[in-house]
Amino acid sequence: MAAAAPGGASTSSRIYRGNVLRLIGPSWVIIGIFLLIPVILTVVYSFLTKEFRGGVQWTPTLAAYDQFFFDRGLFGDEPPRIEWTYLGIFWRSVWQAASATLLCLVIGFPTAWFIATRDPRQRATWLFMITIPYWVNLLIRTVSMKFLIRDEGPLNSLLMWTGITDAPLGLINTNFAVQLGLFYSYLPFMVLPIYAAVERYDFSLSEAAADLYSGMWTTLRLVILPTVRPGIIAGCILVFIPSLGAFLAPDLLGGAKTFMIGSLIEEQFKGAAGNWPFGSAVATILMTIIMAVLLVYARAQGKESK
Amino acid sequence: MRTLLATTVLSALIATSAQAQEELKLYNWFEYMPAELLDKFTSETGIKVVMDTHDGNEALLAALKAGKLGRYDLAVPSDYMVAILGHEGMLDTFTADEIPNFGNIEPKWLDVPFDPGRHSSVPYQWGTTSFMVNRKLYDGPIDTTDIIFNPPETLKGKINVLDSSGETLALASLHLGIPQCSTDREQLKALNALVLGAKPDWASFGSDVAKDVLVSGDAAAGMIWSGFGAKARAENPDLEYAYPRQGYIVWMDNLVLLKDAPNRKAALAFMNFMLEPENAGALSNYARYAPGVTGAEAFVDADLMAAPETNPPADGNGVFVETCPQDSQVLYDAIWTNLKK
């Protein structure tokens, strides 16, 4: 026993290190197979030459990025100008996603606050109720929303029956319908992180603020919001990013009259001509933008914690 | 050496078991083949049919490109995709005497543009693509593509078009009376202007929902496939399927013999089986489109054969969607993207 003791520490740390490798191995395999390889493939494909009707030729080119940024006219022989088509699609998608995120925040924050301030035993029930709709497939939920807001649907029938409106509101196939769909799809992603932050909030801080003659709004602004901010930001990121690539809601509720980033990419792989490098390039540009936003956020967070 | 030996033994074993129960591999659309027909084929020939399904022509092409060629004997693509598969060298050919029932193919489906003389394909089901109008909301004439591209006041803002560039731009080309695969600048500019100008009158682009929006009344007029339209009319009798005088789209799905088919003999036997009028009729009763086989009508449900959607007028205005060469296809893609930007 005594003789073994001196070497014991180093042996166990070696065993420990070996175990660590074995233990984190699977997560690296998963990240590698399901994240890194697809992302690298996407980036590589975006620099290859397109083959007509899908597929690629292994000749490197910047044609896909050229198509994204420069407009050479319908027949490709005009002097290049800035191509606004795709930038416009990006801008519309960002705007839609931002509106949906704002809507989620406005409804989600009070909801999360309400749940977090209930009796601890009730909270589980409320959270459970928030998650119930998410047992149903996203497609079915989106179609249901369509049924609800269509001109002949229950919402318009009710409004007309009660005499609030004379004619259907014409909600379907509008940007608002898309935002409503995105909002409904991703609301729990906003509620849950904010709930987690509010639950940890020490309510004696609010009392202390009140003791110092702080009004309700001042307390909210100066005490509560800074404390639960990480939850709000996490919620916004979780809603914004999937909304940005969504194509179900725009297709079903917005009438698919305009491309979103998601449907633009889909068309490159499923459409008649098929342009895989261009689809990959759009995906790569989208990923780059999201990465940049997240990096800026991470830096801001890092500075703050110093 | 041992591995090689083991592999040889193994493949010999597989070969024996395959001989014991011959297999046919079919790559078909989903919900497009009644199980009873496959059972019937097996009981008649002793060949077991293994069927995989795809959800679209482009998906089929992508799968075959990605290495599935050589794993299937037969596939079911639409007309223009038969031409593309042939062009890509993915089809095998046969002669008429290899299929005893070859003569049952309706004469009008024999010399088709996508496979002249039928050397790689036989008819499976066919129909048309046009549009339907809700007659309760509009009782004017509907035998014109103006309904979609230059709609009367009452239909404006209540039109659904198919979310597929091929069919929608083909119908627009028929409206203008220009070729489907043009490279002519003036024609393409006119096409671009036509669809851009009509877009404000359209409520939505949707293919899967084409029937739903018409039945519910969200759309007062909408492009739709014939069989889908018949189902819509069953749910909403106010709907009427139109055969515009400028033209409408005809499509046909086909059984094609794939290159490197593992069991070519079984594939030809199955093609022969499906050209039997009774079997072709049973297929129509299930899939709800018309067969392309002489004598099959006798076995098809009377209401299906009598439906206006199944009976285009004999005006010769129906045309297939054409497969454009690359230089013109990219222009149509650009017009489509421009339309939806």
User: Nearest Cβ partner of A257 from B217, B326, B340?
Assistant: B340
Looking at residue A301, its pLDDT comes to 77
Looking at residue A61, its pLDDT comes to 93
User: Nearest Cβ partner of A74 from B209, B329, B331?
Assistant: B331
User: Nearest Cβ partner of B217 from A85, A88, A152?
Assistant: A152
Instruction: Report the range out of A259-268, B136-145, B308-317 with the highest average pLDDT.
Output: B136-145
DSSP reduced 3-state for A64: helix
Q: CA-to-CA distance for A147 and B216, rounded, in angstroms?
A: 9
Candidates A77, A155, A173, A264, partner chain B, best to mutate (most B CBs within 10 A): A173
Looking at residue A74, its pLDDT comes to 77
Average pLDDT over residues B225-241: 92
Q: Quick one: pLDDT band at residue A305, thresholds 50, 70, 90?
A: low
A298 close to B (CB below 8 A): no
Average pLDDT over residues B73-87: 94
User: Nearest Cβ partner of A258 from B59, B88, B341?
Assistant: B341
Q: Please, what's the b/e burial string for A118-149 (b: 16 or more CB within 10 A of its CB; e: otherwise)?
A: eeeeebeebbeebeeeeeeebeebbbebbeeb
Looking at residue A12, its pLDDT comes to 57
pLDDT digits (tens, 9 = 90+) for B94-118: 999 999 999 999 999 999 999 999 9
Q: Quick one: pLDDT band at residue B123, thresholds 50, 70, 90?
A: very high
- Does residue B81 contact residue B254 with C-beta atoms inside 8 Å? no
pLDDT of A124 strictly over 50: yes
Average pLDDT over residues A150-164: 84
pLDDT of A7 strictly over 50: no
Looking at residue A15, its pLDDT comes to 61
Please tell me what DSSP assigns to residue B274. Answer: H
- Answer yes or no: do A54 and B163 touch at CB < 8 A: no
Looking at residue B15, its pLDDT comes to 47
User: Nearest Cβ partner of B58 from A86, A152, A270?
Assistant: A270
Contacts 24+ apart (CB under 8 A), A213-222: none
pLDDT of A175 strictly over 80: yes
Looking at residue A296, its pLDDT comes to 86
Residues near A13 by beta carbon (within 8 Å), at least 6 away in sequence: none
Looking at residue B56, its pLDDT comes to 80
Candidates A75, A261, A266, partner chain B, best to mutate (most B CBs within 10 A): A75
Q: CA-to-CA distance for A54 and A16, rounded, in angstroms?
A: 49
- Does residue B224 contact residue B207 with C-beta atoms inside 8 Å? no
Least confident of A17-31, A104-118, B190-204, B279-293: A17-31
Q: Quick one: pLDDT band at residue A11, thresholds 50, 70, 90?
A: low
- Answer yes or no: do A273 and B329 touch at CB < 8 A: yes
Average pLDDT over residues A156-178: 84
Chain B residues 139-198 within an 8 A CB cutoff of chain A: 163, 165-166, 185, 188-189, 192
Q: Quick one: pLDDT band at residue A3, thresholds 50, 70, 90?
A: very low
Looking at residue A268, its pLDDT comes to 86
- Domain boundary assignment for chain A: 93-274
**Hey, how many other C-beta atoms are within 10 angstroms of the C-beta on A26?**
9
Looking at residue B134, its pLDDT comes to 96
| CATH number belonging to the domain at A93-274, selected among 1.20.210.10, 3.30.1330.80, 1.20.140.10, 1.10.3720.10 | 1.10.3720.10
pLDDT of A29 strictly over 50: yes
User: Number of Cβ pairs closer than 8 Å across A and B?
Assistant: 82
Q: Which helix (H) or strand (E) holds B51?
A: strand B48-54
Q: CA-to-CA distance for A11 and A8, rounded, in angstroms?
A: 5
Looking at residue B41, its pLDDT comes to 96
- The values of phi and psi at residue A57, to 5°, are -105, 140
- Answer yes or no: do B331 and A271 touch at CB < 8 A: no
Looking at residue A4, its pLDDT comes to 44
The first and second tokens of residue A30, run together, are 């998963």
**ipTM of the shown complex:** 0.72
pLDDT digits (tens, 9 = 90+) for B11-21: 544 444 445 57
Q: Quick one: pLDDT band at residue A284, thresholds 50, 70, 90?
A: very high
Give me the percent of chain B exceeding a pLDDT of 70. Answer: 94
- Does residue A113 contact residue A105 with C-beta atoms inside 8 Å? no
Least confident of A199-208, B75-84, B276-285: A199-208
The first and second tokens of residue B52, run together, are 């995989």
What is the CA angle A30-A34-A37, rounded to 5? 110
User: Nearest Cβ partner of A53 from B84, B188, B203?
Assistant: B84
Looking at residue B221, its pLDDT comes to 96
DSSP A174-196: SHHHHHHHHHHHHHHHHHHHHHH
- Answer yes or no: do B58 and A274 touch at CB < 8 A: yes
- Does residue B286 contact residue B296 with C-beta atoms inside 8 Å? no
pLDDT of A1 strictly over 50: no
The first and second tokens of residue A215, run together, are 């009004």
Burial label, A280 (beta-carbon count in 10 A; 0-12, 13-18, 19+): buried
CA A59 to chain centroid: 34
Q: CA-to-CA distance for B266 and B270, rounded, in angstroms?
A: 6
Find the residue in B nearest to A87 (Cα): B341
Domains of chain B: 2-125+252-310 (3.40.190.10), 127-250+314-340 (3.40.190.10)
Q: Quick one: pLDDT band at residue A22, thresholds 50, 70, 90?
A: confident
B341 close to A (CB below 8 A): yes
Q: CA-to-CA distance for B296 and B16, rounded, in angstroms?
A: 38
- Answer yes or no: do B163 and A256 touch at CB < 8 A: yes
The first and second tokens of residue A261, run together, are 């980033």
DSSP reduced 3-state for B293: strand
Q: CA-to-CA distance for A248 and A150, rounded, in angstroms?
A: 16
Q: Which residue from A223, A220, A247, A231 is spatially nearest to A198, judged by alpha carbons? A: A231
Give me the percent of chain A exceeding a pLDDT of 90. Answer: 30
A221 close to B (CB below 8 A): no
CA B77 to chain centroid: 7
Q: Which residue has the tokens 């990480």?
A: A230
A57 close to B (CB below 8 A): no
CA distance to partner chain A, nearest, from residue B331 (Å): 7
The first and second tokens of residue A301, run together, are 């967070």
Of B267 and A264, more confident: B267
pLDDT digits (tens, 9 = 90+) for A207-218: 888 888 888 888
- Does residue B122 contact residue B254 with C-beta atoms inside 8 Å? yes
Find the residue in B nearest to A92 (Cα): B341
Q: What is the pTM (predicted TM-score) of this model? A: 0.78
Find the residue in B nearest to A73 (Cα): B334
